[in-house]
Structures are given as C-alpha cells and as structure tokens.
C-alpha cells in the first residue's frame, strides 16, 4: 500500500523554560538554564537539592479546580500542553471527524507523586485504609491519554506508550505510523512527566544517576563537558499534532514540517548503562534514516540524548561517528537537556519540538554549560557550545534512550508540497 505523508500542524509545551512554545523556544535559543533549587518538597537532606521544575505552576489557571484535583501533576501538564497544540492546529468540531482523531501519549513513570502521597498517608495513619477514590485513576500512566480524549471528544486510537526516557519519541513514531497507514487523520501525541518528589529524586540519587553540584544548580547539566557528573531531573510536557498531508491541506491547516521517519531498537546490554560502543544508538539512527529514505548527509542537526552522564554522552558520540562518518563533522549537535534538564518520558517530545522549530526557523539551540573540553570526544565534532547558531536545517534527527536499553529516533524535515 502507498503510505500517507505525515505533517506537523500543531505544537504545545509546558517546560522549565516557559509555559508555552514561544517562551520555550526563546529560552532555548537564548541559552537559559531552567535549573534551580527544588521548591516542590524539602530536599535539604538529599544528595541532590536542585532540578529543572516548571515554575509557579497553578493548575487552576488552566483547569476547573474540581477537575484538577482528579489529576496527577503529569496529567495536568499533558492537558495544558495539548490544549495549546490543539488550538495551534486550528482543530474544531467543524473541521475534523472525531472518530478519526486519536491520542497517543507517553510518560516514563506516570503518577509517582500521587502514589507517594497515598502510600505515605496510609503509612502515617492508624492502619485503617483511607485512600483517595481517585488514587488509581490519577496514578495510572494511560490516564493522560484518556483525559485528553475526553476533554476534546477525540474517539480515534487512544493509548499510552512507555519506554522510560524514550517514551514520547516512541509515541510520536506510533502516531506517525497510525496516520501513514490510514488508521487516523490526526493524532495528538507527545509526553509528560512530573516526578520531582522525594521518591523520584531519592530513587535516582540511590542509583548515582543525578548531578550533585548543589553549589551551582544552573551549571549542573553540562553534557560533553569533562566535569559532567550526572543528569539534572526535569519535568514538563511537549505536545505535537500529527496529521496526514491530504487532511491538513483539505482543511487549510498551517504546516510546520514533515515527519520523515523513525526507528526503535534495543541495546540488550544492561539495566541502566548504555552499550559502551553505542551499538543500539547506532542501529536506531540507521533505522530512522532508512525509514525516512534519507542519507546521512541529508541531516544537518542532531538533538542528542546528551544527558550529561559520563558513559552516555560518550557512547552516543561513538554511534554518531559510526553512522555519519565524515559528515559527522558537518553536523550541528546539541543537547537541550543542558537547559531543560532531563524530562524523562517527556524528553523526546520536547526535543522533537526543538528539532521542528530548528527546521522551521533555521536556528540550532546550543549546548550550554560547557567549560572544559573532554579529550575523550573527537574535537572536530560541533556540539554548538554555549551559543545558538544559524544555518539552513533541511532535516533534523532527535535521539532518546531509556533505562532498559530502549532507543528511539525520529526525523523531521522541511515540508515541500
């Protein structure tokens, strides 16, 4: 069968850099750090006392108070970002068939804050089981997709995707596949995460995964720097409206770019560590290029997974050199996690959004917080350190990798009729 072309017609974002797409992009291109000391709970006794939080978030600004109380923070984030994306795409009951509009949403962990609150409440009680009747519906990971569909009346494919920090990239790929196979006209997709909590920070601290640079939170996320010491936890949501080209043209929608292809692989190597030679990362980028019918030299920008961990940054660069060869030196590479922190299950959607805007606006957001070169990296690679760069971006690739060895890459390119 002939596959349908898929385009992006709407964007939404709720991030540590701003509560909408415009502010998020401005923060990225200005090289702003979204990191500060944790406000959501008392972290003074934790090894890491900082994170990239969504600042001054009041769900009742966006949601009825009664409805907001039925949602975990990660679902509230999802509603805010998708409201913006749906509005941006110009979707109305008059110009779409709701049976042909789906929601494929992602989160790496889901309602951890709700889970923690309910279990702690029970543990501190007298043993009598007093649980919130919305405990389970608030906590389960798929509920964000359900809430989005109910809010807008979308009755097409509806489910959640989870693959740790690759989750929302996998969700985008699933949305892409559903549309190009003709199963839906429009899919609202992306991911959200909100686990800046005692359980979240404590758990990652126990794994020794987080930076402990408590004296300088704004510079703690420093991908590819010699003194990187772990990732910085982030939170937020990124939303994309994917649509078949014919449907978008028929309703006169604006088109940001085209989704060219995607890929998914596994390291099959270790619970949390990447393959030392970047085997899974190499395979997923090659798979995405093949799916997109593009050659390595067709890519100008890679938004890398780039978490600021000693092993992860190095293995990803080895994979890039393996796949792109000499063209790797002509690429712009950057890690926007240097500004947003690692938003876990939301990371892929926010970084795909950065790629979409890079393709649309021909600007490469930087990797900030670079102070000391690491001789382990090839000095000819362009990591776009500390300052945004302008160049024509015809196609961009976004990498996301997750615990369990999950790898996902998606490619977007300029739309040509």
- For the four alpha carbons of 10, 12, 17 and 23, in that order, the dihedral sign comes to positive
Within this chain, do residues 150 and 128 fall inside the same structural domain, yes or no?
yes
Residues 263 and 288: their CA atoms lie apart, in Å, by: 4
**Residue 256, in any domain of the structure:** no
Query: Are both 236 and 289 inside the same structural domain?
Result: no
The closest alpha carbon to 339, from 367, 372, 310, belongs to 367
Query: Which residue among the candidates 152, 247, 275, 305 is catalytic per the annotation?
Result: 305
Q: Residue 281 sits in which domain range?
A: 262-413
pLDDT at 400: 98
- Give domain status of residue 285, yes or no: yes
317: annotated active-site residue:
no
pTM as predicted: 0.97
| 209 and 279 share one domain | no
Q: In this structure, are 139 and 176 located in the same domain?
A: yes
Listed residues 220, 250, 280: the one ending a domain: 250
Neighbours of 227 (CB within 10 A): 13
Averaged in consecutive runs of 10 residues, what is the pLDDT profile of the chain (417 residues)? 95 98 98 98 98 98 96 98 98 96 98 98 94 97 98 98 98 98 98 98 97 98 98 98 98 98 95 88 98 98 97 96 98 98 98 98 98 97 98 98 96 96
Q: How far apart are CA 106 and CA 109, in angstroms?
A: 9
- Do residues 162 and 89 share a domain? yes
Residue 1 belongs to some domain of the structure: no
Residues 292, 217, single domain; the answer is no
Examine residue 50 and state whether it is found in any structural domain, yes or no: yes
The last residue of a domain, from among 221, 250, 279: 250
> Is there a catalytic annotation at residue 327?
no
Based on the residue annotation, tell me whether 305 is a catalytic residue of this protein. Answer: yes
Looking at the fold, whether 277 and 191 belong to one and the same domain comes out as no
Look up residue 385 and give its DSSP letter: B
The CATH number of the domain holding residue 119 is 3.40.47.10
- Listed residues 201, 219, 250: the one ending a domain: 250
pLDDT at site 276: 86
3-class SS string, 321-363: HHHHHHHHHHCEEECCHHHHCECHHHHHHHHHHHHHHHHHHCE
Residue 142 lies in a domain: yes
| Residue of 342, 343, 355, 406 with catalytic role | 342
Q: Does residue 257 form part of some domain?
A: no
Distance CA 244, CA 292 (A): 16
Q: Among residues 35, 52, 165, 317, which one is catalytic? A: 165
The domain total for the chain is 2
């Amino acid at each position: 069968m002939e596959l349908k072309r898929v385009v992006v017609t709407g964007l939404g974002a709720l991030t540590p850099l701003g509560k909408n797409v415009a502010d998020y992009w401005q923060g990225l291109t200005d090289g702003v750090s979204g990191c500060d000391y944790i406000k959501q709970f008392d972290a003074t006794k934790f090894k890491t006392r900082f994170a990239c939080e969504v600042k001054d978030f009041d769900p009742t600004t966006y949601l009825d108070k009664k409805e907001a109380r039925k949602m975990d923070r990660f679902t509230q984030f999802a509603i805010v970002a998708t409201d913006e994306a749906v509005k941006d795409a110009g979707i109305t009951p008059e110009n779409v068939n709701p049976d042909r509009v789906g929601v494929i949403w992602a989160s790496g962990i889901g309602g951890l804050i709700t889970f923690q609150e309910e279990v702690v409440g029970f543990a501190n009680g007298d043993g009598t089981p007093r649980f919130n009747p919305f405990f389970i519906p608030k906590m389960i990971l798929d509920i964000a997709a359900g809430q989005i569909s109910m809010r807008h009346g979308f009755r097409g494919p509806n489910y959640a995707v989870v693959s740790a920090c690759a989750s929302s990239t996998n969700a985008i790929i699933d949305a892409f596949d559903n549309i190009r196979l003709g199963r839906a006209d429009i899919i609202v997709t992306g991911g959200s995460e909100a686990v800046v909590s005692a359980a979240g920070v404590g758990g990652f601290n126990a794994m020794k995964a987080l930076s402990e640079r408590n004296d300088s939170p704004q510079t703690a996320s420093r991908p590819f720097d010699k003194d990187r010491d772990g990732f910085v936890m982030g939170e937020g949501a990124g939303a994309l409206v994917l649509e078949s080209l014919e449907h978008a043209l028929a309703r006169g929608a604006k088109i940001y770019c085209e989704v060219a292809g995607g890929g998914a692989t596994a390291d099959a190597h270790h619970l949390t560590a990447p393959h030392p030679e970047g085997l899974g990362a190499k395979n997923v980028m090659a798979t995405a290029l093949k799916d997109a019918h593009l050659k390595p030299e067709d890519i100008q920008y890679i938004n890398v997974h780039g978490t600021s961990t000693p092993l992860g940054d190095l293995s990803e660069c080895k994979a890039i050199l393996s796949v792109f060869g000499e063209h790797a030196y002509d690429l712009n590479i950057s890690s926007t996690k240097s500004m947003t922190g690692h938003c876990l299950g939301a990371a892929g959607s926010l970084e795909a959004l950065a790629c979409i805007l890079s393709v649309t606006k021909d600007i490469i957001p930087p990797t900030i917080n670079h102070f000391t070169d690491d001789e382990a990296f090839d000095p000819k690679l362009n990591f776009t350190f500390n300052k945004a760069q302008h160049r024509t971006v015809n196609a961009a690739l976004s990498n996301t990798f997750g615990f369990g060895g999950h790898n996902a890459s998606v490619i977007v390119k300029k739309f040509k009729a």
